[in-house]
Each structure stands twice: as structure tokens, then as C-alpha cells.
Structure 1
Amino acid sequence: MAPRIEDLLIPGILWLNARSMTDKFSQEAIQQRIYREFTSLVSRDENTIDLAQAALQIAKVAYPDLDPVPSLSYLDALARRVIQLHAQIASSTSEQVNPLELIGSLNHVLFEDEHFHGNESNYYHPDNSFLNKVLEEHTGLPITLSLLYMEVGKRAGIPLEGIGFPYHFMVRYSWPEGRIYIDPFARGLLLNEAECLERIQQRTHHRGALHQRWLEAVTPRQMLVRILNNLKSVYIRHDDFPHALAISDLMLLLLPDATVEQRDRGLLHLELKHYGRAMQDLQAYLERNPKASDRYEMRNHIKQIRQTIAQLN
């Protein structure tokens, strides 16, 4: 007797289900490894966080098989070229080398030789926030190009600070006689404080002096938070909630006391129908913020989640 069609289909369906479960467990194992490695990098003292390593770990959310060694080697190679170029300039003149010639050497290598530039045509692509892709494509966001600039500068012995201006991250170089601001998104454009203020006013319609907090150097942790916030916004903009959730997880590993981020993660779980985890995050948010302005909205979400779970059971 010929086999029934359902007898042929059922084993195939079971095999597909088993494979799907295996893939799911494999993905979760990879994700947990990424989280452990990221935690190891960012749980150190603030001054010892390796920005390049941490940024490449963030990139593993989208590129889980990423080997960081080629990217780190490229940063080292760029720095060696900066050192060599500066040495040539110093040996060709009898005058004392101007400190800004260090910046000139860095700019020459990154922007004239390597053609790094801001990605204005595809600004909201996630790859702009991943250091490995910035190094491959030679384009990125203000903050990732600033990170690249700072990391090459650090390796070349040029002390640089990240400056978190509103809407546009930049870099600052200081020496005994003064300081200058550098915009890596604009191919290393050099600016003074007055010019920075003018650009901020153009972007934000801000009137008045620069807020002092804008001039404070950004810590490595703060810089990573800004990168993660950018990425989360991009993924949500693209309705890519699984990747947005992974970024939210990294944010909470970096800032475990960030209750608003816990709320946002709960809402992402809710989008993905992870009802138990969503309720856990939203309840924890309300417990820590009982007078939050959005408490009634979050309570309503929790009520709806409970109703959904009851229906499923």
C-alpha cells in the first residue's frame, strides 16, 4: 500500500521543528557569549575601558562571527603611518614643530590618504554605528568616526577627548597654549569654540552661550551609551525589534540602573510577544519609579499582558 501523504510530511515537519529549535538554542548561546564578553570589557574601571574592543563587541550583535583582530590591526597600521608622516615633517624643518602638525598628520592619513568621510547619503543605516564596517567602508556617523579618530590618535601618542555636542559628536585636542575642536564627520574640519557654537545654533536653534556641560570630555562609558542609543533608534525606525532588543540588553549591561532603559526593553519584549519578560521589565520599572509620568500607561500594558497570558493558558 502506498504511504499516505501525511505520513511523509510529519517526519519532515518534526525535523524542521527540531532544526528550528537547534538554531534557536545556537543563536541564544552566541548571544549570551557576546553579552559575557561585553560585560567583561565594560565592567572595568572607567579609564581602562578599551573603546575599540567594546565597539567591536557591539558590532557582533549584527556580525556574530566577527573577528576583531583585523580591525584592531588596521587601527595600529593607521597609527604607524601617522607617526611616520609626523617624523618626516619634524625632520624636514629646523623650527620647533607646531602641536597642530600632529593633528595635520592624523588628518592627512585618515582623510586625504584613506578618504574617511561622513555617510550623509545613508545616515540611518546600522552599519554606520559598527566600527568594523566603518573601517571597511570608510564612512560612518559623527560618533563612530570620532571613535576611529581617537583610537588612531591614541595609538600615535596624540591625546584626544570626545565631546558630546548636541546632535553632533566631535573631538577635542588640547595643548598648553590652547585647544581646538575637530569634526571627523567633515573630514577633520578644525573649529574653535565660537565656531562650534555657531554650528550648534544652526542645528538646534539654540540661542546663547555654549552650556559648560557640552564642553566636558565624554567618558568611554558615555560614548558607548551614545553609540547604543543611536543603534537602538535605527533598529526601531526599521521595525527590527530583535536587534533593538539585543542593543537594549547591552545598554542594561552597561547601565544596570537605567530604569528607563528597562522600560524600553520591556516594550520591545512586548512587541516580540515575549509576554513574561515584558511584564517582568515593566513591573520592575514601576517598582523603581512608582510616580513615573507614564505609570498609568505601563500599568495598562501589564494588565493587557496578564489578559493575554490567561487566554493563552
Structure 2
Amino acid sequence: MADGYSKDTDQQRTYRAFQSLIAGEDGAIDLAQAALLIASIEYPGLDITHIQAQLDALARRVRIMLALPSPDQLPDLPADVDPLNVLAVMNQVLRSEEGFHGNPEEYYTPDNSFLNKVLENHTGIPVTLALLYIEVGKRVGIRLEGIGLPYHFMVGYKLPDQMIYLDPYTDSSFLTAQQCLERIRLLAKRRIKIHPRWFEPVTHRQLLLRLLNNLKKIYIDREDFPHALNISDFILMLIPDAALELRDRGHIHLQLKHYGRALHDLNTYLELSPQSSDRYEILNQIKSIRRFIAMMN
């Protein structure tokens, strides 16, 4: 490929597997597998099947405590099983026994965003701990939804008359919408206008984007541009025509001296956003790149 930039075979396989995984209906996306494919960029050779088996084992413990047969025999919860009791038992296994908890002291460590390391270290950030609950819940037979609140990611479960929320990062207690708002205001440290759409369950793609955007920021702040590029590639597989992401990837390519690829992404950004406020800044960057490429030839 141009500018000396190429992907190794393992990375190509990972990208193809991720692209195939997200190609179908949103609800059919296997979130655990997608998260582990993302983690395999940092941890090449990651045994995804082994990690999935760890999730199966956690769910099996919950099922045993609930006196439920295996998912092969009974994939869905019986109608007479109280979902609140199921969630309480999940909390007992995941939080009380296994000690999964938030990691505020090392919040911006990349490992907090990788599901394999969350399972190994028993710590994570809100979105990865929510993902853990969603995936264990799926294996137990209960459907938990990701709730993408600002400042904080939670999970929700829809009861017949209301939605209840859990905060796996903080204490995993059951919360009402009002209690969630109080936590957001504490995190924001100011009064903020509340939008009802915040409490709408996110799609699987949106959850993965939240995870990826966290990682992208961490890597850029660390000036780890090779890994930032990997993450930007994943984001653009999820949202191929995202103009701002193309601009950001163009800047990452530029940091890595991938001049041809930077030129392509920045030109595409301007095609998609011809009236962007940074248009002239980007045009000047494009001119500089072209002059540099001409000097090299």
C-alpha cells in the first residue's frame, strides 16, 4: 500500500471478522465477540472462545443459584421467575462474589475498555461493566439494555410498568430514572437540562461506538497514534460516512506520516461537509500535504 502503510495478516482478519459481525441486523450483533475483536488489536492472538466461555461460566453460576437448567435446555426465563430476583442474583455473583467494580483511580487505562482485561482484573469503566452485565444477562435469559446517559453508562431492564436501572460501575443498586438524574447532576457538578431521549436504550452499534470513542480519546491523549488509527478504522466500519471521523483519521494518518491516506481522508471529509467551519484550515493542510508529497517524488 501507499506511504509504507500496511496491515498485517492478523489485523486484516480481525477487521474482516468485525465487518462481517456488524453487517446484519443491529440486534443480532454479538457484543461480546465485537468487543473482543476490538481488544485483539491490543492483544493479538486473544482466544475469543476462551473468553466467551468465562461469560458462560458466570451465567451458569447465576442459573444454578436460581435453580434453572442450562440455556440449551431452557434459553428463556420461565414466566414465574421474578426478573428482579434474577438481577439480584447477578449482582451477588458479579459484584459480591467476583468483585467486579469501577476503576476511578486508573479510569483512562486502555485495559478498562477491553472485555478480556475486565474479566481478568475485575475492574472497568461504565460501558464495559454494562457490557459484562448485558452479556451475562443474555446467557441467563434476561435482556438488559445499554443506557447511554451523559457522563455515565448504565443498564436498564423493562418491567411491565416501568424501566429500572442498574449502575454496574458504582454499586449495581436498582435505580429509578430520578435517581439516575441525581447521579448525573453530581457527576456534571452543575444543573443540566434533562432530555428524555437519554433514557432510551442504545443500539448495539451505539454501545460499540461509545466504547471505541473512549479508546480513541485515550490513545490520542497518549499520542499512541498506531492504536488510535486501529480504533478509528473500527469506528468507520460502524459509521462509514462519518465526516468528522474521516477528518480525525486523516489527522491520525498525518501524525503517522501516511500522507496519501491522510490526503484521501481529508478530501473525503470536505466532500461530505463542504460548509464545515474548519474548511479553510483543512484546505491549507491538504495543500501542505500535496507540497510535501511533490517534494518526495
TM-score, length basis structure 1: 0.87
Correspondence for 1:157: 141
Q: 2:10 aligns with which of 21, 26, 30?
A: 30
After superposition, what is the alpha-carbon deviation per residue over 1:194-243, rounded to whole angstroms, capped at 9, x for unaligned?
11111111222453663111010000000001111000000001110000
| CA-CA distance at 1:86 after TM superposition | 2.0
Please name the residue that 2:246 is paired with.
262
Give the helix-richer structure, 1 or 2.
1
Structure with the larger RCO, 1 or 2 (CA within 8 Å, 6+ apart): 2
**1:215 alignment partner in structure 2:** 199
Q: Residues 86-119 of structure 1: CA distance to partner in whole angstroms, max 9, x if unpaired?
A: 239xxxxxxx764311111000000011110111
Q: For residues 83 and 269 of structure 1, what CA distance do their matches in structure 2 show?
A: 48
**Pairing of 1:87-236 with structure 2 (within 5 A):** 87=67, 98-205=82-189, 207=191, 210-236=194-220
Distance 1:131 1:257 in 2: 27
Conserved? CA contact 2:55–2:135, under 8 Å: yes
Task: Report the equivalent of 2:29.
Answer: 49
2:64 aligned residue: 84
Match in the other structure for 2:74: none
CA contact (8 A) 1:282 1:298 kept: yes
Instruction: Summarize deviations over 1:128-163 as a string: whole Å, max 9, x none.
Output: 111111111111110000000010011101121110
- Unaligned 5+ residue runs, structure 1? 1-20, 89-95
Structure 1 residue 297 corresponds to structure 2 residue 250: no
Residue of structure 1 equivalent to 2:48: 68
Instruction: Supply the RMSD in Å over aligned alpha carbons.
Output: 1.7
Q: Which is worse superposed, 201-210 or 252-261? A: 201-210
SS at match of 1:176: coil
| Distance apart, 1:43 and its partner CA | 0.9
> Alignment partner of 2:157: what SS?
strand
Determine if contact 1:163/1:216 at 8 Å carries over to the other structure: yes
Residue deviations 1:44-91 (CA, integer Å, cap 9, x gap): 111111101101011111012111011100111111111111239xxx
8 Å contact kept, 2:83–2:142: no
Amino acid at match of 1:39: Q
Deviation at 1:311, TM superposition (A): 1.9
Distance 2:81 2:18 in 1: 40
Gaps of 5+ in 2: 69-79
Q: Where does residue 8 of structure 1 map in the other structure?
A: none
Q: Please identify the structure whose Cα radius of gyration is greater.
A: 1
Secondary structure at the aligned position of 2:290 is classed as helix
How far, CA to CA, are the matches of 1:63 and 1:249 in structure 2?
17
Give the distance between the partners of 1:285 and 1:188, measured in 2 at CA.
Answer: 41
Q: Does 1:245 align with 2:236?
A: no
**Structure 2 length as normaliser, TM-score?**
0.91
**Partner SS, residue 173 of structure 1:** strand
Alignment partners' CA distance in 2, 1:54 and 1:286:
30
- Counterpart selection for 1:285 from 234, 257, 269: 269
| Counterpart AA for 2:211 | I
User: Which AA in structure 1 matches 2:44?
Assistant: P
Write the letter of the residue equivalent to 1:292. S
